[in-house]
Amino acid sequence: MKDRGLSQYLRPIAMTDPARPSGALSLAGGWCWFDRVEILSRQAPPRIVGLGDLTEAERAGLSTSRPAFGGMAMDAPRIMGILNITPDSFSDGGLFLRPEAALMQARRMAAEADILDIGGESTRPGAAEVSPTEETARTAPVIAALRTGGLALPISIDTRKAAVAEAAFAAGASILNDVTALRFDAGMAGAAARAEVPVILMHSIETPATMQDDPRYDDVLLDVYDALAERLTVARAAGIPDDRLAIDPGIGFGKTLEHNLALLARLSLFHGLGVPVLLGASRKRFIGTIGAEAEAARRMPGSLAVALAGVAQGMQMIRVHDVAETRQALRLWQAATRGYST
C-alpha cells in the first residue's frame, strides 16, 4: 500500500490523443485513457504522479469497465434527452405541457437519444414545489402512452418524490433521476430499491427555492465528491446495489458560476466513486453568462461545447435539450479525436 495519508483524492488526467503510451490505462473502461493522476487534498497544493505511484486497487478502481446502466453499455457516451412537462421550466417551460405536444417531442428525441428523462416539476432556482398528484398527472400518462406506442428506450423519471416515481415505474419508466440524491423524500430510497431500478444520484443542496442563496463550499470539487460518496453509501444501505447506481455533480444546483467551472474543469475526479457519471449543463445560466446569450433556448452552441468537454473527461451520460444537435456534435467529436469514423 502506498500511504499518502488521509483525505487525498485521485483525479485521473483524461486523455483522448491517438498516441497512447503502452502503459496507459483506460479511464473507467471507456474512450479516454490516463497515465498520470492529479493528487488533490484540502491541506496541500495539487501534485501530479504517474501510475507507478498508485496501488493496484487504485489503478483498478479508476480503470475497470463500469457495468451497464439501465441496460446501456457504458463504453460510449450516452445522450439523455430532456422532456419537461411543466409550465415553468427555465428553458422549455410550457412548450410540452399538453400531452400531445409532450408525446411529439418525446418521439422526435427518441430518434437520436439513448434515454428520455421525463420531469413534471421545474427545479430551476426559485421554483415552487408541485404537489405529487399534479406531478404524477403530468408525467405518468405520457410515459404510459410512449410505452403503449412501442417506445423501447430507457425512460428516467426526474423527480424527488416517491409517489411520483412509483407511478412512473408502473407506467413504464425504468430509471430514477433524483436531483436530491434521495434526500428530499424519506420514502424514495425504499421505493427505488423495491422497484429494482437504476438510480441517478445528483448533488444538490437545500431546495430549488433556496439553493442559490449564497451557496458556499470549503472546496467545491472535494465537497461535492464527499457528498456524493455519502449519498452512495445511503443508497447501498437501502439495498440499491452498485451496478444500479450513477452520480451527477449537479451543475447549477446550489452553485455559483465559479463553482460550476471548478467542477467542469476537473470532472474526471468523479470516476473515483466507481460508478457511471452523468453531466447536465444544457442551457444553464452560466452558459448564458459566459456565452452572452440571455435567452435559454438559444444556448445550444454553448451547451454543445460543455457537453463535449464533459465527454473528453469520460462522462458516460450527458443530459441535453438539443438531442439531434448533440448527436451530430458527438459523432464529429468522436471521428475527429479518433482520426476515423465508424
DSSP tag of 67: P
Of 14 and 118, nearer to ligand HH2 (C-beta) is 118
Which pairs count as long-range contacts for 153-156, CB under 8 Å and 24+ apart, including other chains? 153/110, 153/113, 153/114, 153/115, 153/116, 154/70, 154/71, 154/72, 154/114, 154/115, 154/116, 155/115, 155/116, 155/117, 155/118, 156/70, 156/80, 156/115, 156/116, 156/117, 156/118, 156/200
**Using CB under 6 A, which of 58, 135, 158, 166 touches ligand HH2?**
158
**Using CB under 6 A, which of 16, 63, 91, 105 touches ligand HH2?**
91
**Using CB under 6 A, which of 179, 189, 192, 228 touches ligand HH2?**
179
**Only segment of 3-11, 47-55, 60-68, 116-124 that touches ligand HH2 (CB under 6 A):** 116-124
**Using CB under 6 A, which of 124, 255, 285, 327 touches ligand HH2?**
124
State which of positions 16-75 bind ligand HH2 (CB under 6 A): none
86 lines the binding site for ligand HH2 (CB under 6 A): yes
Pair 159, 139: CB distance under 8 Å: yes
* CA separation for the pair 77, 200 (Å, rounded): 16
Pair 268, 12: CB distance under 8 Å: yes
Of 179 and 191, nearer to ligand HH2 (C-beta) is 179
Q: Which of 66, 160, 183, 319 is catalytic?
A: 319
Of 15 and 246, nearer to ligand HH2 (C-beta) is 246
Q: Is 338 a catalytic residue?
A: no
Torsion of CA 39, 41, 46, 49, to 10 degrees: -20
* CA separation for the pair 168, 186 (Å, rounded): 18
State which of positions 216-275 bind ligand HH2 (CB under 6 A): 248, 250-251
C-alpha separations of 296 from 6, 91, 210, 293 in Å: 43, 5, 21, 7
**Using CB under 6 A, which of 63, 105, 139, 177 touches ligand HH2?**
177
**Only segment of 81-89, 166-174, 185-193, 297-305 that touches ligand HH2 (CB under 6 A):** 81-89
In the complex, minimum distance from the CB of residue 123 to ligand HH2, in angstroms, rounded to a whole number: 4
Q: Is 255 a catalytic residue?
A: no
In the complex, minimum distance from the CB of residue 77 to ligand HH2, in angstroms, rounded to a whole number: 15
90 lines the binding site for ligand HH2 (CB under 6 A): yes
Q: Which of 66, 138, 244, 284 is catalytic?
A: 284
123 lines the binding site for ligand HH2 (CB under 6 A): yes
* CA separation for the pair 309, 16 (Å, rounded): 11
Q: Which of 289, 274, 284 lies closest to 250 in space, CA to CA?
A: 284
Mapped onto helix, strand or coil, the DSSP state of residue 302 is: helix
139 lines the binding site for ligand HH2 (CB under 6 A): no
State which of positions 279-338 bind ligand HH2 (CB under 6 A): 280, 319
Whose CB is nearest to ligand HH2? 280
- By the 10 Å C-beta count (0-12 exposed, 13-18 middle, 19+ buried), 149 is classed as exposed
Pair 65, 304: CB distance under 8 Å: no
**Using CB under 6 A, which of 146, 278, 320, 329 touches ligand HH2?**
278
**Only segment of 1-9, 86-94, 235-243, 333-341 that touches ligand HH2 (CB under 6 A):** 86-94
Of 89 and 313, nearer to ligand HH2 (C-beta) is 89
**Only segment of 26-34, 36-44, 85-93, 215-223 that touches ligand HH2 (CB under 6 A):** 85-93
The arrangement of strands across the sheet holding 8-12 comes to: 8-12, 36-41, 47-50
First CA to last CA across the chain, in angstroms?
42
Pair 201, 190: CB distance under 8 Å: no
Catalytic center residues: 284, 319
In the complex, the residues that contact ligand HH2 under the rule CB under 6 A are 82, 84, 86, 89-91, 119, 122-124, 158, 177, 179, 200, 202, 248, 250-251, 278, 280, 319
